């Protein structure tokens, strides 16, 4: 019984990874084009150029100082383009800012929305 449950969990995890890996190159090309362009340069200085996270700093307006943070990038494909999510989190994840950058497949910006802590 336990073996069957482990096998099914492993199969679901493998399918999820396989699905992500198959779509990553198209999204990565769009992200690369965006980060190399004029609108993406400010993000390129702070966030990883591939899905993942890196240490960084954030301006915490409550403390009026820069604090240690984590900057992460995520890429998701959609029918009409790519959604790139840039997140800056600090205070053990209790505070965060997230930008959702909606891109066309060529890396041009469709729209940008922001959520989270002001600043």
Per mean pLDDT, which range of 1-15, 26-40, 75-89, 97-111 is the poorest?
1-15
Report whether 47 contacts 67 (CB < 8 A).
no
- What are the tens digits of pLDDT across the range 96-119? 999 999 999 889 999 999 998 766
Number of domains the chain is built from: 1
d(CA 56, CA 28): 22
What domain range includes position 53? Answer: 24-116
Structural domain includes residue 3? no
pTM of the model: 0.75
Structural domain includes residue 9? no
Structural domain includes residue 91? yes
């Amino acid at each position: 019984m336990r073996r069957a449950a482990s096998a099914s969990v492993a199969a679901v995890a493998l399918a999820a990874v396989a699905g992500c890996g198959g779509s990553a190159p198209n999204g990565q090309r769009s992200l690369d084009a965006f980060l190399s362009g004029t609108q993406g340069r400010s993000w390129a200085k702070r966030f990883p150029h591939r899905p993942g996270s890196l240490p960084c700093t954030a301006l915490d307006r409550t403390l009026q100082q820069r604090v240690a943070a984590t900057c992460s990038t995520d890429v998701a494909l959609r029918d009409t383009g790519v959604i790139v999510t840039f997140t800056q989190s600090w205070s053990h994840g209790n505070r965060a800012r997230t930008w959702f950058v909606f891109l066309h497949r060529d890396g041009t910006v469709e729209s940008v929305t922001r959520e989270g802590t002001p600043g």
